[in-house]
Amino acid sequence: MTSNEEKLQIVKKHIRNYNDFPKKGIMFWDVFSVLKEPKIFHLLKEVLVDTVKKIDPPIECIAALDARGFLFGSLLSLEFNVPFVPIRKKGKLPGCTFRASYSKEYGEDTLEVQIGSIKKGQKLLIIDDLLATGGTLACSSQLAKQCGAEDITYLVVLELEDLKGRELISDHKLISLIKL
């Protein structure tokens, strides 16, 4: 049987990087290069499912980040039969929302979540493809807390360790699968 570590080593080999994208000086890590190969995406899915299974107490809701976080959040919400909540870039969600702005590695942005989409006290997983400076996850956590979330676990596929994003989100547990 292949261990999670072995599976992740294989996945890591399939992550392509691009220099100077989307701006000069940024090394861009493209998680879509994994999705282009179903066998490799399947290995990643197995590790994600196994990782979430081990979270105790069990998660009750999954919030995922627009857009790449959606790729993993929706498959996990089906697997664990818990609600999927999108945290979207501004102007995309109908109804009443909480909104907050933040800085990320290559710019600034604003995120929104629908009021009432995360229930007060729910054990929440916030998932994204990648942690860089941590601005995106810190902003998401702020929005989730406005909805009443208290018990949060962060999960990312990739962590750019040099950018020290985990320091910005040290308020809750962070699980990162592959460190770059």
Ligand X SMILES: Nc1ncnc2[nH]cnc12
| 3-state secondary structure (DSSP) of residue 158 | strand
Q: Is 132 in the site for ligand X (CB under 6 A)?
A: yes
Computed over its alpha carbons, how large is the radius of gyration of the chain? 16
Q: Exactly one of 7, 15, 29, 126 binds ligand X (CB under 6 A); which one?
A: 29
Q: Rounded to the nearest whole angstrom, what is the least distance from the CB of residue 160 to ligand X in the complex? A: 6
> Taking a C-beta distance cutoff of 8 angstroms, is the pair 66, 86 a contact?
yes
Which tokens belong to 85? 């909540």
Q: Rounded to the nearest whole angstrom, what is the least distance from the CB of residue 119 to ligand PRP in the complex? A: 24
Decide if 105 is catalytic: yes
Q: Exactly one of 130, 168, 169, 177 binds ligand X (CB under 6 A); which one?
A: 130
Q: Is 130 in the site for ligand PRP (CB under 6 A)?
A: yes
Residue with tokens 């999108």: 86
Q: Is 165 in the site for ligand PRP (CB under 6 A)?
A: yes
Backbone angles phi, psi at 85, to 5 degrees: -120, 120
Distance, CA of 73 to CA of 76 (rounded, Å): 5
Residue with tokens 């990643």: 44
Handedness of CA 46, 49, 52, 56 (dihedral sign): negative
59/131 with CB nearer ligand X:
131
Decide if 112 is catalytic: no
Distance, CA of 51 to CA of 127 (rounded, Å): 12
Q: Exactly one of 44, 111, 135, 143 binds ligand PRP (CB under 6 A); which one?
A: 135
Q: Catalytic residue, from 46, 60, 68, 79: name it.
A: 68
The one segment of 21-29, 34-42, 74-82, 166-174 that binds ligand X by CB under 6 A: 21-29
Q: Rounded to the nearest whole angstrom, what is the least distance from the CB of residue 129 to ligand PRP in the complex? A: 5
Q: Rounded to the nearest whole angstrom, what is the least distance from the CB of residue 70 to ligand PRP in the complex? A: 8
H helices, E strands: number in the chain: 6, 9
The one segment of 20-28, 39-47, 114-122, 144-152 that binds ligand X by CB under 6 A: 20-28
